[in-house]
Chain A
Amino acid sequence: MPFIPHTDSDVRAMLDAIGAPDTDALFEEIPANLRAPGLPGIPVAMNEMEVGRLLMGLAARDGRPLNFIGAGAYEHHIPAAVWSIVTRGEFYSAYTPYQAEASQGTLQLLYEYQTMMASLTGLDISNASLYDGASGLAEACLMAVRANRKSKSQRILLPVALNPTYRDVAQVIAGNQNLAFELLPYDAKSGQTLVAALEKYTGQDITAVVLQQPNFFGTLEDVDAVTDWAHANNALMIGVVNPTSLAVLKPPGQWGQLGADIAVGDGQPLGVPLSSGGPYFGFMATRTEHVRQMPGRIIGRTLDLDGKPGFSLTLQAREQHIRRSKATSNICTNQGLLVTAATIYMSLLGPHGLAQVAATSMQRTQQLVDALTRIPGVRLAFDAPRFHEAVLLLDRPVAPVLEALARRGVIGGVDISARYPSLGHALLTCATETRTLADIDTYARALGEALRNAAAAA
């Protein structure tokens, strides 16, 4: 479907039809003192060639470092076919279609995506995506308040071991809607959220409990115990999950005796490049009983008047173009382009391929941990089983060590000491299937040298 902007003569014809002299006249009701006088600080327009040259130059400054950062976004191999298909003209729109049913191919793709995500999360139904994982969690918290009709408190329990950025975003979006977040501590030895910390809330009105699997430290949580506690206390269970991990871990729909109520997460690991932080996409799945409280678009399969199968938007009455201020969300959209990439990625890998990615990433992280903890001054923070990420404790501040590694072409991980001061000098590091044993050896040698040099200089 072509998306062609209006020509000057189209604009003139429309202005003439409504009797306006020019487009500025359409904005006259906005007082002059509230209008931006231009965009100070924005340089003059560049043509495509100039922009291309500028961006290539900026990209070259990054070099080609070996990346061991995870912390919410993961470098996985993306088969070349994924983005060659995504960038076909028929798919290449980042946005949700307005005349949706005219774009049957787009709707079919979104329907296939929803089917895959429902299968991956073990839940009944998925929406057509959200902005990203962090805003997805905020949406899940707001949804839980609407869906949990036994609860009036709007109190939601969040683990300290949840990705702190997700906690920040949930606070910004949902905190202003009178949701109260209370923090669940983690066990200093295992890195797992303390199930015993739930006890003091037993019998209280709690709207929902959030648990991230694997958690921010890469540690696997006791999802069954927390889910069962939530349901026994009339709280809904929200799982924040890594989609790659679901190929090998128990899906949220099977947590505890009843399964989680809502699963959300960031879809980036499914075929979306790191791209310096975005755009990514969020996913959300739930049980049928909560579907009318789920934000976002949902595509359904139906039959047309001739009995032929087709796809349409469904359950739209909950959405903002119909329900206005009372819609399930007024901040969400879907991320059509990235969902297209994820759908093609999943269809190319299949369940077995995705499980291989997950298992290999786990193995590589274990090999990384083994190699790095052999270095004097490096030890593992937590002893519980993990997925493809780990927290290491150094014998000196992390930031200068990371700088020394970067000079050797190694991006060693994220310094999480400031967010988790009780851990000390804490480094969150990750190896996916894209890191080879030689890469791990390069990292280990660079880290050993950096620590020796730092010790010698001290």
Chain B
Amino acid sequence: MSNVPADLRFMKSHEWARLEADGTITIGISDHAQQALGDLVFVEAPEPGRRVNAGEACAVVESVKAASDVYSPVSGEVVAANADLGGQPELINQDPYGAGWIMRVRPDDKAQFASMLDAAAYSAALAAETH
């Protein structure tokens, strides 16, 4: 059973998001997603300063099995990317909700964050997916 922290929001495509005190949103992939992908070997994060739209593919996580897109849950500007993943993509496997964060976006409209799935809804979506 994968870990779904109660204080985060999620997308059906298995991204998580956290609203930071400074108004930015930190984005990564869920514990379920990292388990499904297996050992990650490469992460391509977006360049800070890039404009992204909600639902736009803006990062790629590559495991030995597949290369998958990571979608932004909100429209806005990328303000940071996790540089540690360049040398240590396995941080996503080890700590998907902490040291394995992928990027930080300053949202144009925080309502897009509020409309994401909460932990209970994401857990229900995961349960439905496995049945």
Contacts and interface: CB of A to CB of B under 8 A. Distances in A.
Which of B42, B63, B67 has its CB near the most chain A CB atoms (within 10 A)? Answer: B67
Nearest to B62: A317
A322 to B, nearest CB: 6
B69 A317 contact: no
Contacts of A150: 47
A323 B68 CA distance: 8
A323 B42 CA distance: 14
B44 A322 contact: no
Nearest to B47: A149
Nearest to A292: B42
Interface in B53-74: 62-67, 69
Contacts of B63: 317
B88 to A, nearest CB: 17
B64 A317 contact: yes
A322 B47 contact: no
A292 B62 contact: yes
Interface in B22-60: 41-42, 44, 47
Interface in A55-105: none
Contact of A323 (B41, B44, B64, B66): B66
Nearest to A318: B67
Interface in B75-110: none
A326 B64 CA distance: 17
Interface string A27-43: 00000000000000000
B47 A323 contact: no
A149 B66 CA distance: 22
B80 to A, nearest CB: 15
Contact of B69 (A149, A318, A322, A326): A326
Contacts of B65: 317, 322
B64 A292 contact: no
A318 B44 CA distance: 12
B93 to A, nearest CB: 15
A209 B90 CA distance: 36
Interface in A326-354: 326
Contacts of A322: 65-67
Interface in A135-154: 149-150
A317 B47 contact: no
Interface in A116-166: 149-150
Interface of B: 41-42, 44, 47, 62-67, 69
21 contacts: A149-B47, A150-B47, A292-B42, A292-B44, A292-B62, A317-B41, A317-B62, A317-B63, A317-B64, A317-B65, A317-B66, A317-B67, A318-B62, A318-B67, A322-B65, A322-B66, A322-B67, A323-B66, A323-B67, A326-B67, A326-B69
The 10 closest A-B pairs by CB, nearest first: A317-B67, A317-B62, A323-B67, A149-B47, A317-B66, A322-B66, A318-B67, A292-B42, A322-B67, A317-B63
